[in-house]
Amino acid sequence: MRVLILGGTTEASELARLLAADPRFETTLSLAGRTSKPRPQPVRTRTGGFGGPDGLAAWLQQEAIEAVVDATHPYADQISSNAVTACKQLAIPLATIMRPAWQPLPGDTWLTVASAEAAAEALGSQPRRVFLSLGRLELGAFARSPQHRYVARMIEAPEGVVLPRDIKLIFDRGPFDEPAEATLLKDEKIDVVVSKNSGGAATYPKIAATRKLGIPVVMIARPHKWHGHTVEKAEGAMMWLEQRLAHRAIPVSARGV
């Protein structure tokens, strides 16, 4: 079965690993190309946009793809909408890995806002020391709140983004643990963290560290993400693919179609 994984996440890499070990599947992993040195993958990889839903549909047809797994990040809403449109158009089955959102626990102080711009606004007029745990493209929103001192961590340097005047950039791709996150927040004298609600374990230690240190979090809410059949993890997507394979093996007459 020819499978496309829309990737850029831990779950996508995990699913690629599971599929690479199974000769019943021929897999392509697609990356948007946001990082110049992505981690090596055990399956064929393609990089860059498809050119909207029509471009994606054309690519799926050309590659004779039989199933798509959207394993993109919870905040990547455009590609998910494109995947729903293209798969519907071609009647290709689509599953979406929907990573559950983090929920506030006792001791957490979260202010939920709709966007990076709203987060910058929510920081207020008094100067604060802010840790930005965001993608590099979102940093531009904070240039309009120059009264704060920012620390931002990212995989690689932002290009074409106007940064806030007072910002320290830390380049790291993780994983991070809670003690290291707490040390970073303390060393940088951070008094507020801005984060997306990415869900999952990989970036949660910073949230656990804010709880421990009593630091508030401005949490940018998730966008609406269009989806196919939903699963929570790579293993769920693998089971769904196996079911599709079994379904395909049954003759059409026996399926009553």
Contacting residues toward ligand NAP, per CB under 6 A? 6-9, 30-32, 34, 49-52, 55-56, 72-73, 75-79, 82, 135, 196
Q: How far is the CB of 177 from ligand NAP (least distance, A)?
A: 20
d(CA 72, CA 8): 6
Shortest gap between Cβ of 225 and ligand NAP (angstroms)? 9
**What's the closest the beta carbon of residue 193 comes to ligand NAP, in angstroms?**
16
Question: Which residue, among 52, 46, 84, 51, has the nearest Cα to 68 in the 3D structure?
Answer: 84
Long-range (24+ apart) CB contacts under 8 A made by 242-250 are 244/1, 244/66, 244/67, 244/93, 245/1, 245/24, 245/25, 248/1, 248/66
Output 75 or 204, the one with its CB closest to ligand NAP: 75
Measured from the CB atom, the residue of 101 and 213 that comes closer to ligand NAP is 101
Q: Pick between residue 11 and residue 66 the one whose CB is nearest to ligand NAP.
A: 11
Q: Is 40 helix (H, G, I), strand (E, B) or coil?
A: coil
Compute the least distance from the CB of residue 47 to ligand NAP, in Å.
7
* Alpha-carbon span 94 to 227, nearest angstrom: 8
| Smallest distance from ligand NAP to CB 110, Å | 18
- In angstroms, the CA 127 to CA 148 distance is 5
Indicate the residue among 182 and 218 with the shorter CB distance to ligand NAP. Answer: 218
Contact yes or no for 228/240 (Cβ under 8 A): no
Nearer to ligand NAP (CB atom), residue 138 or residue 182:
138
Q: Give the integer Cα–Cα distance in Å for 83 and 93.
A: 10
Which tokens sit at 40?
A: 């090596």
- At which residue do the structure tokens 């983090």 appear? 102
Cα angle for residues 245, 247, 253 (degrees, 5° grid): 140
Complex with ligand NAP: residue 56 or 130, whichever CB lies closer: 56
Smallest distance from ligand NAP to CB 65, Å: 13
Q: Return the number of the residue (51 or 124) whose C-beta is nearest ligand NAP.
A: 51
Which residue minimizes CB distance to ligand NAP? Answer: 49
Neighbours of 188 (CB within 10 A): 16
- Cβ 79 to ligand NAP, closest distance in Å? 4
3-state per-residue secondary structure call for 218-249 = EEECCCCCCCCEEECCHHHHHHHHHHHHHHHH
